[in-house]
Amino acid sequence: MANIVVRSLSRRSFLASTAALIVAGSTPGFARTIVGRMPWEPGSATPPVQVRPGPWMFFTADEAALVEAAVDRLIPPDDRGPGGKDAGCAVYIDRQLAGPYGGAAGLYMRPPFMPGAATQGYQLPGSPAARYRAGLLALADHVRTAFAGKTFRELAPADQDKVLGGLETGAIVLKDVNGAEFFALLLQNTQEGFFADPVYGGNRDMAGWKLVGFPGSRYDYRDWVDQHDKAYPLPPVSIMGRSDWTVRE
Amino acid sequence: MKPVMRSALAIAAVLAAVSGDAVAQDGQSFDRIERGRTLAVLGDCGACHTAPGGKPFAGGLALETPFGKIVAPNITPDRQTGIGNFTNAEFLSALREGRSRGGKLLYPAMPYPAYTKMSDDDVLAIRAYLATLTPVSNAVVSNQLPFPFNIRMAMLGWNWLNFTPGRYQPNSQKSAEWNRGAYIVQGPAHCGTCHTPKTVLGGDKAETPLAGGMLQGWYAPNITNDSRTGIGTWSKDEVVQYLKTGTNSWTLASGPMADAISHSTSQMVDADIAAIATYLKDSGLGGATAAAVAIAASDNAMRAGAAIFKDSCAACHKDSGLGEAHLFPRLAGSALVQADDPTTLARVVLHGTRAVATSAMPTAPAMPAFDWRLSDAQIAAVLTFVRNSWGNAAAPVAAGAVTKQRQSLAAAP
């Protein structure tokens, strides 16, 4: 009996897989065959688009004021360089939210949405843009209620730190928004803005790179490979260059 | 066996009697057809007479001249649309005098001013080879020039001003190899069509042959033996290597020369390549152009150029400007880098370029485009820097020249 079952199953699966093969074989292929040499077209670079200064593209004026104040507490200015605001972190976040990242263009965004492990990546229903909109609104409401009608920007730095700390630990509960998750998103994007290439709007004058000694978009270090215990002498360079590239009049 | 041969001979004899043309009979021999094929390679006939993706020699490639568009005709033996009906005399006249059937004047996009140097025997060997091709029916409208250039009779005047008919005259002071090289360079290979500077009418400047010309938005470099602006620094072997493989320790071919190498020079027989190199190294053309004075490193453009070179170029072309043989062209001491005309330089920095792939050197490395990363002033600065570093010396490049090149590339990439 068991033998018969196994045989009939394998016969069925054999037929099914044969059918699948026939279907696959008769479907036109989308692969391209490249023979002889790799394809190349003149002028075919696909460069990143340089972020230009200008009006906010995603944030409202109130949202921008809140974000600028928050990123300046996450990375405060000190004698070693600018803080998050002057480094352009809010500009970076604004341009990202206005673009494909904000719309979750690269993510699978269909239900079911279930809590996943940290290793499973983004599992939330809202796009980053929607989460910022809701999170900033809820945060502004919370601050207005807790601090007698004041905005986040008007708070003393110590109070701002308290609010941000409360979000991070979950001590502050926002209406309809998970405060800890929103804080994690804001912190991550602020760090990105501080260290991403200046072409994306943050890391102004490569301040983040100068702070940690990162040389930027250079790609050949052969001359320094065996020079141990020596400081790397070259200044950082952005995808779009550095100030020394400008021809002085 | 013997009866077969005898009847073949009989047929040949009959054919010869009918046509009364001894050359046509000779045209059936393998040696002659093969020699014709070799000559068609030397002349690179297929480069123009084959459309991209089209049947070989069936015509259709549009040549963009400064005066407008000329489309190369069908030269397969098709009787209606090709040259099947041409007599040998008509073929000779078209190739060497620029007069096609019925006295129709050809435009000098057909390099008859060079082919005029060729012997009867060589031209008719090409004819014999073309006659063995499969006839392809492909009607081509050659003359797509705007008024007034579309008036073929105007070429009478052009010929009178610019065309000197006449066969190649051997130089008895030189070796047979040198004479073979001179014949190939001036005749079938028509090197001067691109490499000789042109007058406003598009004729060769007779006083400066092979001293470098402009075509299709590229500068065809000086190939005289001038030690600074020509190929004077290349050894004969390096010239041979370049023509055979598309690269030598100095540079890699790209642009229109990449086509010339892949269709023509890399397919030439070794003795012909050696002959070309012997002639070019001893052509007596070009002396030693007085060196320009290098621009000081403290110049503003030089300083900006140095920073750009360090960050964008040095990884491949090296801080020393020596590049890497067969991969990244050497800039230090390069004649092309120091050429008066920076058109090619600006073009490769703006749009990038790709080296030719040959069977000997199949890698075909590419230079990326920098038009998105560098402004016109920055490209001018970095070119000024490479033209005036490591012993190089040449005039600075103006930002306006790069702007013009950027615009013309955008209009017709």
β pairing state of B143-144 and B213-215: unpaired
A51 Cα to chain B: minimum distance (Å): 14
- Reported as a single tens digit per residue, the pLDDT across B38-97 is 999 999 999 999 998 889 999 988 888 888 888 999 999 999 999 999 999 999 999 999
Question: Is the Cα torsion angle B185, B186, B192, B194 positive or negative in sign?
Answer: negative
In which band, very low, low, confident or very high, does the pLDDT at B14 lie, cut at 50, 70 and 90? very low
Interatomic CA distance for residues B64 and B408, integer angstroms: 13
Task: Let me know: does B353 contact A42? Beta carbons within 8 Å.
Answer: yes
From B143, B216, B258, B197, select the one nearest B411 (Cα to Cα): B216
Helix residue ranges per DSSP H, B246-298: 256-263, 270-281
Interatomic CA distance for residues B362 and B355, integer angstroms: 10
Contact A237/B at CB under 8 A: yes
HSE-up of residue A62 (Cα within 13 Å, Cβ side): 12
Q: What is the pTM of this model?
A: 0.84
Q: Do A246 and B308 touch (CB under 8 A)?
A: no
B203-226: average pLDDT: 90
Question: Is the Cα torsion angle B338, B342, B347, B350 positive or negative in sign?
Answer: positive
Q: Do B374 and A249 touch (CB under 8 A)?
A: no
B176-181: average pLDDT: 97
B298 Cα to chain A: minimum distance (Å): 12
Report ipTM for this prediction. 0.80
pLDDT score at B172: 95
CB nearest to B368's CB, from A45, A240, A242: A45
Interatomic CA distance for residues A219 and A209, integer angstroms: 16
Helix residue ranges per DSSP H, chain A: 2-26, 61-74, 89-98, 128-146, 157-169, 179-195, 207-212
A197 Cα to chain B: minimum distance (Å): 14
- Is B290 or B113 the better-scoring residue by pLDDT? B113
Q: Which residues of B touch A242 (CB under 8 A)?
A: 307, 311
**How many residues would you count in chain B?**
413
pLDDT score at B12: 45
Q: Do A244 and B303 touch (CB under 8 A)?
A: yes
Angle, alpha carbons B287-B290-B294 (nearest 5°): 140
pLDDT score at B136: 94
Q: Which residues of B touch A245 (CB under 8 A)?
A: 304, 307-308, 311, 374, 378, 381
- Is A25 or B20 the better-scoring residue by pLDDT? A25
Interatomic CA distance for residues B102 and B116, integer angstroms: 19
Q: Do B369 and A42 touch (CB under 8 A)?
A: yes
Q: Do B351 and A43 touch (CB under 8 A)?
A: yes
pLDDT score at B250: 95
pLDDT score at A23: 54
pLDDT score at A222: 83
- Reported as a single tens digit per residue, the pLDDT across B296-337 is 999 999 999 999 999 999 999 999 999 999 999 999 999 999
Question: For the packed helices B236-245 and B270-281, what is the interaxial angle rounded to 10 degrees?
Answer: 130
pLDDT score at B23: 45
Q: Do B311 and A43 touch (CB under 8 A)?
A: no
- Is the pLDDT confidence value at B9 over 70? no
**In 10 A of CB A223, how many CB atoms?**
10
Interatomic CA distance for residues B220 and B228, integer angstroms: 16
pLDDT score at B155: 83
pLDDT score at A127: 94
Contact A52/B at CB under 8 A: no
**In 10 A of CB A158, how many CB atoms?**
8
Instruction: Please identify among residues 167-186 of chain A the ones whose CB lies closer than 8 Å to any CB of chain B.
Output: none
Q: Do A245 and B307 touch (CB under 8 A)?
A: yes
Domain ranges of chain B: 20-162, 176-281, 300-411
Contacts of B312 (CB under 8 A, 6+ apart): A241, B370, B373, B374, B382
Instruction: Give the residue numbers in B contacting A (CB under 8 Å), as ranges.
Output: 300-301, 303-304, 307-308, 310-312, 314-316, 319, 350-354, 357, 362, 364, 366, 368-374, 377-378, 380-381, 409, 413
pLDDT score at B79: 94
Q: Do B350 and A43 touch (CB under 8 A)?
A: yes
Q: Do A247 and B351 touch (CB under 8 A)?
A: no
Percent of chain B with pLDDT over 90: 71
B254-269: average pLDDT: 94
From A167, A214, A166, select the one nearest A194 (Cα to Cα): A214
Interatomic CA distance for residues B126 and B138, integer angstroms: 20
Mean pLDDT by 10 residues, chain A (249 residues): 46 59 56 77 79 94 98 96 97 96 92 86 89 97 96 97 97 94 97 97 95 90 89 92 92
* Strand segments (E) across B174-233: 213-215, 218-220
Helix (H) or strand (E) run with residue B68 in it: strand B68-71
Give SS3 for B59: strand
Instruction: Pull the structure tokens for residue A184.
Output: 């994690």
Q: Do B371 and A45 touch (CB under 8 A)?
A: yes
Q: Do B311 and A45 touch (CB under 8 A)?
A: no
How confident is the prediction for chain B on average, in pLDDT? Answer: 89
Interatomic CA distance for residues B319 and B310, integer angstroms: 7
Output the DSSP codes for B81-147.
Answer: TSSTT--HHHHHHHHHHSB-GGGPBPPTTS-HHHHTTS-HHHHHHHHHHHTTSPP-------EEPPT
Q: Do A244 and B372 touch (CB under 8 A)?
A: no
Among B259, B349, B372, B382, the residue to mutate for chain A (most A Cβ within 10 A): B372
Report domain B300-411's class: mainly alpha
Query: Which DSSP letter does residue B283 get?
Result: S
In angstroms, the first-to-last Cα distance of chain A is 93
Task: Let me know: does B331 contact B320? Beta carbons within 8 Å.
Answer: no
Among A37, A197, A206, A247, the residue to mutate for chain B (most B Cβ within 10 A): A247
Among A38, A220, A223, A245, the residue to mutate for chain B (most B Cβ within 10 A): A245
Instruction: Pull the structure tokens for residue B319.
Output: 């801080």
- Is the pLDDT confidence value at B392 over 90? yes
